[in-house]
Structures are given as structure tokens and as C-alpha cells.
């Protein structure tokens, strides 16, 4: 069965983020399958469901095997239409909701899309404030306000500070600043002065010199800046600083933005605010 | 049972994002419960599981009822330790993986954390490139390069363009630019010249004047800029422009960043790249 092509549909009353997150986590456990992905968010009427049913049947015919359907649809009448198609349905909501009802001794509210909808004005403002903080303190901008940061990521150029800060701000509402070490900082074996006052908030990002070389070469091929020797020098300097000043740090060579962010939250004891 | 306090644990071999997404989407369906949330990511040894088991038992005693556990743990020996605690386990992975195996006629790979890990260098580079594009073209910066954008969000100041662009870049790898309408643009009933060449890429964000007034007052209370009259004037101007130039637009008054982003992708036919 190696090399098969299959189609997967993510169905939801609202954004479809939950359906896709769950389905993806299952499907990544299977190799040698090429996935064609169809997203059907905002599937909130029987008419729209009829159109998706036809799309599923066409995919089944085209692939020569039935599509997988991951659904967080709340309304049974919409899912009933889908079930008439030639497909295999994995229904996250139906599978769990009744056990949760039983455990909590109350019926579920039956309102669609609560998970990724705007529920609290204050949570929204906090999230926007965190994003604004991250943008205003990216790349060492305005270090006078570093004392207002919840966390300050430090590392050499292209060590992944900006994406991690944005993720922390956007997903978790964390006021994250970052400061790039530059060759100018490396003339002495000392933490730059502007960081000394906020040492307890620092978290270092490091990676292999080889990986840094690949990343820098992507934008500046052949430059001194991107050379393996320069990358090795900068990494060696920063890791000696992390050790000397007892700054917690993480090697990010083989990990994603999501993983880096989770590790930082976890190691620094920051409260996750994934949902408000 | 109104007003009860319960504790929920999210357990995972890796980031815990999938476990939290699932649990949150179920628990938001139940009102009148105050949730104490405990995240236990990177739970990859029997020793760590033992510590979490004790934490669960303490929470059960403190709350006077057993905690809910949402798990994406892959290793049965770790989950077995947790199950010895006084708790109710909802195990996402175990519940679905065998049905998916059956449907795909192959065993699952059994590797933890594939879903939010770094799997493809090229996907990582694309994502980073999208983030860099968003940062370089926020708030009308460098409109000469707007033709390279996949989408350009337009709207008055504080209509939510920046958070939506960042979300599109960070989560979906979309090169999203944005351009703020200013009172200077509003002297004529015309689309600003710099946008005329890229009309097919425009998407408008609007909201109620009352909501805009609240948002602007948060940072600039009592200003002319934040006044309800000024907000109403600007919203009226932009909506007339959206109609006149047939620019698709969305009222964002009551919706979240996730919903806005999904609606934009959906209406503009942009390919979602939630996972690479």
C-alpha cells in the first residue's frame, strides 16, 4: 500500500482549526501517504453540506478509495448529510462530548465555534497589547522598556528570536522582547550592559553553527556573515556567555517555533494563556 | 452544580498544543465552571509521570472532585501511571489511532510530537520568509513591493490589520501586507493610488464605529482620533470605498483573530498551509 494518495476533509461550523489540529496529529503518524487536504470551515447549513458531500464523492472516485473526514461539527443534521457520502468520519465532538457531560453533570451548551471565537474583550486587548509590545521591542528596539517584558530572548542574528517572540505574543499573550548579539558585543566576554539590569528575564536561543550557516546563506550567500567560520565563532561566544551568566538557553537546531515557545514557557514558569 | 471549580490537566509527550486544543473546544461548551488549568508538556518519562500523578491527586483533594485529563500521550506506560490517580482521562490518541490504522491499512509510526515538530526545512524557510514579509510590509511600509503580497489587508487605524497579517504569516505562511487608510486618504472618494495597481489582492477590514471608538480610546482616551464621530466618519468612508471598488470585506466587530484569518483565506481562495 506504499505511496498511496488519499484525501482528507476538515469540517467545522467555524474556523476548522481544532479539526485540522487533531486530524494532523493523527495523520503525521503514517508515512508513505500523499495527502490532498480540503478545508470546509463555516459549514453551517444543510445546503453547504450537500455541496461538500458531492465533493467527497468525487474525491473518492478520483482516488479509488474513500476520503477521511475529521469533523468538529456540532449539528447532527449537517453531519448526517456528510455521512451519506462514501467516506470514513472521525467525529471529535460526538466522540467525547457525552463523556464530558457525564463527568460534569451538565448538558453542553450547543453553541458553535466557542473555542476560537472572541469571548472576552479584556483578553482581546491583552493579546493585542502583547503583539504591540513584541513589535515595538523586536531586534533590540527600545531596550529602556525591557523591564516591562515578561521574557527577553537573546541570541545571534538569525537564531530564531523574532518568530518565537511573535508566537509567544500572538498565541499566548506574552510580552516578549528580544535582543540580538552582534559582533560588536563579542569583543569582550561580558553580557551587553543594557541586559545586565534584566538578567532574570533572559532566555538564550542557540543552534548548531552548521544550521546557522545554512539559514544565513539563504539570504546572504557567500558573505562573511554567513560563513561557517563566522557562525561558529558567534555561537561559541554566546554559549560561553550563557554559561558564565547562568542564562537558561535552548538549542533550537531541530525544533519548531511551537516547540521553542512551549519550552520557553515551561522552563521560565510563564503562565500559558493559549485561550485568553 | 452551578459555580463549581474543577481542575483540568493537559498531558503530552511534546508541546501539548493538540491536547489543549481538543480539551478547550470541549470545555468551552460548559458554563458556570471555573477551570484551573495545568499544562504538563514534554512528559516523556515514568518519573515525570509520577510527579504529575501526585499533583492530580492533590488537586482532586483540594477541589473535592476528580480532575479531567486530556492526553495525547503516545506511550502506554506513561499513561498507565497517570491512570492510577483519582481522575477522568480523555485520551485523544488511543481513542482514534486504531481506527485510522484500520482505514489506512498500516500501523502508526509511534513517534512522539510529529505534529508540531520541524519536519521540513523548506517549509520552515517559507514560514520564516512569510513572517519577514509581514514585518517588512506592516502599516503601509514599502508599498512598492505590494505586488509580491498574496493578500493586502486595508482598513482604518486599529481595524485589526496587523494581528491578522501576523497570524496569516505565522500560522499559514502567507505573505500578507497591510495598508492603513488615514484621514488624508479621505478627502476624495477614491482608492489611494498606490493600491489601484494591486486591487485584486485587497481585502477590507471594517467594524462598528462604537467598537472602533472603544479600541482607540484604550490608548488615546479623549482624543479627537478616538471620538465616536471621527470613528463613524472613517468607517463610513471606507465602506463606501469597499462598495465602489468591489473590494471584499469583513465586519470584525465580534470575531477573533483566528476567525478573521480563516474567513480571509476562505473568501480569497488562498491555500491554507497550517502545517507546512
Cβ of A31 within 8 Å of Cβ of B109? The answer is yes
Which of A179, A184, A182 is closest to A197 using CA atoms?
A179
> How many residue pairs bridge chain A and chain B with CB atoms within 8 Å of each other?
203
User: What chain B residue is nearest to A111 in terms of C-alpha separation?
Assistant: B29
Among candidates B16, B97, B117 on the partner chain, residue whose Cβ is nearest the Cβ of A256: B117
State the Cα–Cα distance between residues B27 and B6, nearest whole angstrom.
Answer: 11
pLDDT tens, residue by residue, B48-69:
999 999 999 999 999 999 999 9
pLDDT tens, residue by residue, B6-58:
999 999 988 888 899 889 989 989 988 999 999 999 999 999 999 999 999 99
Nine cell digits for residue A211: 544550521
Distance (Å) from the C-alpha of residue A213 to the closest C-alpha of chain B? 14
Distance (Å) from the C-alpha of residue A188 to the closest C-alpha of chain B? 31
Distance (Å) from the C-alpha of residue B111 to the closest C-alpha of chain A? 7
Chain A residues in contact with B167 (beta carbon < 8 A)? 170
Sign of CA pseudo-dihedral A86, A87, A88, A91 = negative
Cβ of A97 within 8 Å of Cβ of B26? The answer is yes
pLDDT score of B1: 45
CB count in 10 Å sphere of residue A17: 25
Pick the residue of A4, A29, A93 with the most B CBs within 10 A to test the interface with B by mutation: A29
Which structural domains are found in chain B, ordered by start? Answer: 4-104 (3.40.50), 121-268 (3.40.50)
pLDDT along chain A (276 residues), means of 10: 82 90 91 91 94 97 96 93 97 92 90 65 81 90 90 96 94 94 95 94 97 92 97 98 96 89 87 59
Mean pLDDT (chain B) is 91
What pTM was estimated for this model as a whole? 0.85
3-state secondary structure of B139: helix
pLDDT score of B260: 92
Long-range contacts of A211-217 (CB under 8 A, 24+ apart): A211/A253, A212/A156, A212/A158, A212/A159, A214/B121, A215/A158, A216/A157, A216/A158
Do residues A111 and A75 make contact, with C-beta atoms less than 8 angstroms apart?
no
Per-residue pLDDT of chain B (276 residues; tens, 9 = 90+): 457 899 999 999 888 888 998 899 899 899 889 999 999 999 999 999 999 999 999 999 999 999 999 999 988 899 999 999 999 999 998 899 999 999 999 999 877 666 666 656 677 788 888 999 999 999 888 888 899 999 999 999 999 999 999 999 998 899 999 999 999 999 999 999 999 999 999 999 999 999 999 999 988 999 999 999 999 999 999 999 999 999 999 999 888 898 899 899 988 887 766 554
Amino acid at each position: 500500500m506504499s505511496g498511496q494518495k488519499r484525501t482528507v476533509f476538515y469540517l467545522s461550523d467555524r474556523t476548522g482549526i481544532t479539526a485540522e489540529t487533531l486530524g494532523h496529529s493523527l495523520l503525521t503518524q503514517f508515512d508513505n501517504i500523499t495527502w490532498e487536504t480540503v478545508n470546509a470551515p463555516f459549514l453551517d447549513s444543510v445546503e453547504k453540506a450537500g455541496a461538500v458531500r458531492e465533493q467527497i464523492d468525487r474525491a473518492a472516485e478520483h482516488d479509488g478509495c474513500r476520503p477521511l473526514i475529521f469533523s468538529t461539527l456540532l449539528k447532527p443534521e449537517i453531519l448526517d448529510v456528510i455521512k451519506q457520502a462514501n467516506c470514513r468520519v472521525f467525529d471529535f465532538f460526538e466522540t467525547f462530548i457525552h463523556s464530558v457531560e457525564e463527568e460534569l453533570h451538565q448538558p453542553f451548551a450547543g453553541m458553535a465555534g466557542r473555542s476560537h471565537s472572541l469571548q472576552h474583550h479584556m483578553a482581546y486587548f491583552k493579546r493585542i497589547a502583547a503583539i504591540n509590545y513584541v513589535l515595538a521591542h523586536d531586534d533590540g528596539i527600545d531596550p529602556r522598556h525591557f523591564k516591562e517584558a515578561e521574557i527577553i530572548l537573546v541570541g545571534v542574528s538569525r537564531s530564531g528570536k523574532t518568530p518565537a517572540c511573535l508566537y509567544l505574543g500572538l498565541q499566548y499573550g506574552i510580552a516578549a522582547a528580544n535582543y540580538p548579539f552582534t559582533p560588536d558585543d563579542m569583543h569582550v566576554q561580558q553580557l551587553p550592559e543594557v541586559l545586565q539590569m534584566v538578567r532574570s528575564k533572559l532566555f538564550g536561543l542557540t543552534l548548531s553553527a552548521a544550521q546557522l550557516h545554512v539559514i544565513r546563506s539563504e539570504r546572504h550567500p557567500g558573505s562573511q556573515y554567513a560563513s561557517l567560520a563566522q557562525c561558529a565563532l558567534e555561537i561559541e561566544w554566546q554559549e560561553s556567555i550563557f554559561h558564565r551568566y547562568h542564562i537558561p538557553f535552548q538549542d533550537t537546531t531541530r525544533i519548531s517555533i511551537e516547540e521553542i515557545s512551549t519550552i520557553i514557557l515551561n522552563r521560565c514558569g510563564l503562565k500559558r494563556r493559549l485561550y485568553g
